[in-house]
């Protein structure tokens, strides 16, 4: 139904006169007390379908200016829980429509007049549900608090859906008109002439309806996994989050052996003031911080990044949050695709949100949530990294894994920034060393004890362990970097990758890692001793690397 012009508008000021919203549309008046044609059959059925007989819990300003309540009587009160604005569902919103009848009036013709009220001051069970819903409408439309916009039509669909049709004049600033007629002319010029069902308005001109970016947001859960040093974190940082405000919209944490649910969600700490008085303070964890940011910024995608998700007991860390990982594949019950399908009750999160809301005077800053209905919203994405070499630390069970998308990160060492750097004191480039070592591990392990997840990733070694051509001529630099290379790369290969088959990579006689470390430490890096380094390795491995020696003296025969 088309509503009366000027009854449902925001920040549309007048230079002359006044014109505040009356929050109601007339449905009929006169001696015959007939309804006009604003309410069609579908709308009337929806009002009846959602009618509630709970008038004692309803508080509403009935008359113009909010007075003269005794002059009106309730005809019907309808509570809707599936709300849409320009076709976009509004999560966790309720809205009440009330039809009232005027019992007493200044003129005989006004007696019996019916009005449908959609006031922002409606309270149901003490909660300003309409005001809360209008606030969420503004967020969905990506309108700033001072932005000017108005609703021109209210419709219903499927009996339980309430649809608002809105037009945005300026999403960031208020708008001033000369007088009410000037404003009316502008408003009427923007309302489409043809009948447009509210659920089809998403395809209308963006310049008119200006639906916010969040209309298309759909969060997900994804694990990026791969061999050590393959660049999982780098990939997330530089590809997935390349255009994201990392300072405000990205939250990070790392799981480890003793990491707990209270670390992840939050906990209550005692706090002692200067007088010795003890109070208790809610300290949110990274999950709750990310959730808070998402709920207060529904027009943005917020990211929670969990590094090394399998280094801690993920099932215990998530606890009851595990239930939230199931996400809706389509809109349902007022929630949208990407929202958690099964909300939970979480005492800490609800307590923290409630305390935060009560400590703030600004309505705009409040966290909108329902008691016992905590969920991951569609604008919160969970990203995680997993080192496949560490799967034996805390294996992720099938039930947990199936709630995450998975992507294997495979990086070509030849294309990385470290590819052309040298293994310290040698003429062997990192790209050749890593690729040859990986090939040999796979080809020469006959019993299958060495798996692909033990390979060296492209970023396993960094510029702190590798030398440029110039650095390779400085004995002091080479010695320092060679020790780092031994402690990181060689130690990993010996004690992890080929732990049960050292002969796959290392020469006879090197049965303990300290022998390898001592041999490197004793090298005289004043001279090119690349062959001495290579002799630490098995003959076939050394042979592979000899083929790629660069800027070194002639290779000696073994």
Tens digits of per-residue pLDDT, 288-329?
Answer: 999 999 998 888 899 999 999 988 999 999 999 999 999 998
Nearest Cα neighbor of 96 from 141, 47, 45, 56 is 47
Task: Name residues whose C-beta falls within 8 Å of residue 212's C-beta, 6 or more positions apart in sequence.
Answer: 139, 140, 141, 142, 143, 299
Contact assessment for residue 507 and residue 536, using Cβ atoms and an 8 Å cutoff: yes
- In which band, very low, low, confident or very high, does the pLDDT at 547 lie, cut at 50, 70 and 90? confident
Give the helix ranges, DSSP H, for 167-277: 180-190, 206-209, 232-235, 246-249, 261-265
Contact assessment for residue 194 and residue 127, using Cβ atoms and an 8 Å cutoff: no
Average pLDDT over residues 93-117: 76
The DSSP bridge pattern shows strands 148-157 and 9-10 to be antiparallel
Q: What is the pLDDT of residue 375?
A: 93
Q: What angle do CA 439, 478, 498 make, to 5 degrees?
A: 30
pTM above 0.75, yes or no: no
Burial class (CB in 10 A: 0-12, 13-18, 19+), 37: exposed
Among 87-101, 187-201, 462-476, 478-492, which stretch is predicted with the lowest mean pLDDT?
187-201
Tens digits of per-residue pLDDT, 250-281?
Answer: 999 999 989 999 999 999 988 888 888 888 88
**Which of 46-50, 228-232, 284-288 is most confident?**
284-288
Q: DSSP letter at 227? A: S
Q: What is the pLDDT of residue 555?
A: 40
Q: What is the mean pLDDT of the chain?
A: 81
Looking at the DSSP assignment, which residues form a beta bridge with residue 127? 124
45, 129, 433, 449, 499 from 541: Cα distances, Å: 80, 72, 10, 18, 17
Average pLDDT over residues 552-556: 42
Rounded to an integer, what distance in angstroms lies between the CA atom of residue 22 and that of residue 64?
6
Tens digits of per-residue pLDDT, 127-178?
Answer: 889 999 999 999 888 888 889 999 999 999 988 899 999 999 988 888 888 7
Residue 446 has pLDDT above 80, yes or no: no
Nearest Cα neighbor of 398 from 315, 316, 319 is 315
Token pair in block for residue 492: 């990993």
Tens digits of per-residue pLDDT, 180-232?
Answer: 778 888 888 888 764 433 333 332 222 222 233 334 578 999 999 888 888 88
Residue 534 has pLDDT above 70, yes or no: yes
Q: Tokens 């590819």 correspond to what residue?
A: 419
Q: What is the pLDDT of residue 215?
A: 40
DSSP state letters, 33-51 = ----TTS-HHHHHHHHHTB
Q: What angle do CA 135, 138, 140 make, to 5 degrees?
A: 110
Residue 33 has pLDDT above 60, yes or no: no
Q: How far is CA 433 from the centre of its chain?
A: 40
Name the strand (E) or helix (H) holding 252: strand 250-254
Among 66-75, 96-105, 269-278, 297-306, which stretch is predicted with the lowest mean pLDDT?
66-75
46, 261, 280, 347, 408 from 270: Cα distances, Å: 51, 19, 4, 17, 43
Rounded to an integer, what distance in angstroms lies between the CA atom of residue 99 and that of residue 26?
10
Q: Select the more confidently predicted residue: 56 or 448.
A: 56
Q: What is the pLDDT of residue 532?
A: 65
| Torsion angle of the four alpha carbons 136, 142, 148, 151, in this order, in degrees rounded to the nearest 10 | -50
Q: What is the pLDDT of residue 465?
A: 92
């Amino acid at each position: 139904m088309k509503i009366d012009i000027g009854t449902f508008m925001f920040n549309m000021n007048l230079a002359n006169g006044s014109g505040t919203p009356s929050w109601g549309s007339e449905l009929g008046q006169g001696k015959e007390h007939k309804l006009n044609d604003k309410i069609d059959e579908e709308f009337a059925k929806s009002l009846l379908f959602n009618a509630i007989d709970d008038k004692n819990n309803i508080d509403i300003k009935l008359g113009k200016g909010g007075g003269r309540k005794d002059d009106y009587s309730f005809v019907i009160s309808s509570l809707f829980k599936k709300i849409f604005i320009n076709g976009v569902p509004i999560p966790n919103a309720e809205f009440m429509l009330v039809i009232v009848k005027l019992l007493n009036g200044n003129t005989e013709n006004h007696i019996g007049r019916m009005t449908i009220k959609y006031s922002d001051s409606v309270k149901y069970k003490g909660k300003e549900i309409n005001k809360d819903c209008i606030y969420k409408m503004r967020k969905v439309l990506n309108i700033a608090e001072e932005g000017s916009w108005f609703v021109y039509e209210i419709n219903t669909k499927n009996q339980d859906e309430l649809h608002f049709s809105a037009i945005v004049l300026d999403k960031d600033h208020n708008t001033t008109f000369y007088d009410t007629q000037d404003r009316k002319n502008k408003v009427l010029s923007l309302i489409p002439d043809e009948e447009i069902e509210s659920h089809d308005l998403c395809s209308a001109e963006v310049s008119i309806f200006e639906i916010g970016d969040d209309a298309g947001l759909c969060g997900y859960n994804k694990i990026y996994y791969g061999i050590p040093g393959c660049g999982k974190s780098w990939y997330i940082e530089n590809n997935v989050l390349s255009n994201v405000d990392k300072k405000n919209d990205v939250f990070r944490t790392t799981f480890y052996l003793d990491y707990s649910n209270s670390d992840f969600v939050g906990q209550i700490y005692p706090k002692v003031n200067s007088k010795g008085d003890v109070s208790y303070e809610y300290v949110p964890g990274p999950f709750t911080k990310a959730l808070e940011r998402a709920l207060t910024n529904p027009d943005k995608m917020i990211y929670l990044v969990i590094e090394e998700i399998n280094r801690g007991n993920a099932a215990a860390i998530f606890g009851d949050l595990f239930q939230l990982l199931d996400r809706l594949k389509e809109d349902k019950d007022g929630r949208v695709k990407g929202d958690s399908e099964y909300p939970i009750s979480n005492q800490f999160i609800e307590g923290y949100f409630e305390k935060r809301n009560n400590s703030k005077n600004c309505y705009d800053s409040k966290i909108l949530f329902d008691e016992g209905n905590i969920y991951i919203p569609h604008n919160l994405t969970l990203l995680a990294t997993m080192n496949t070499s560490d799967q034996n630390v805390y294996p992720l069970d099938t039930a947990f894994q199936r709630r995450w998308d998975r992507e294997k990160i495979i990086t070509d060492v030849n294309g990385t920034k470290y590819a052309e750097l040298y293994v310290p004191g040698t003429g062997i480039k990192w790209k050749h060393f890593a690729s040859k070592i990986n090939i040999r591990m796979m080809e020469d392990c006959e019993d299958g004890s060495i798996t692909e997840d033990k390979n060296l990733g492209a970023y396993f070694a960094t510029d702190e362990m590798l030398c440029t051509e110039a650095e390779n001529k400085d004995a002091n630099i080479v010695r320092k970097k060679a020790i780092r290379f031994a402690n990181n790369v060689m130690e990993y290969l010996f004690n992890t990758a080929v732990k049960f088959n050292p002969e796959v990579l290392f020469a006879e006689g090197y049965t303990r890692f300290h022998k390898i470390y001592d041999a490197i430490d004793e090298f005289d890096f004043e001279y090119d001793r690349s062959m001495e380094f290579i002799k630490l390795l098995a003959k076939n491995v050394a042979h592979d690397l000899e083929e790629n020696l660069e800027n070194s003296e002639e290779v000696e025969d073994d």
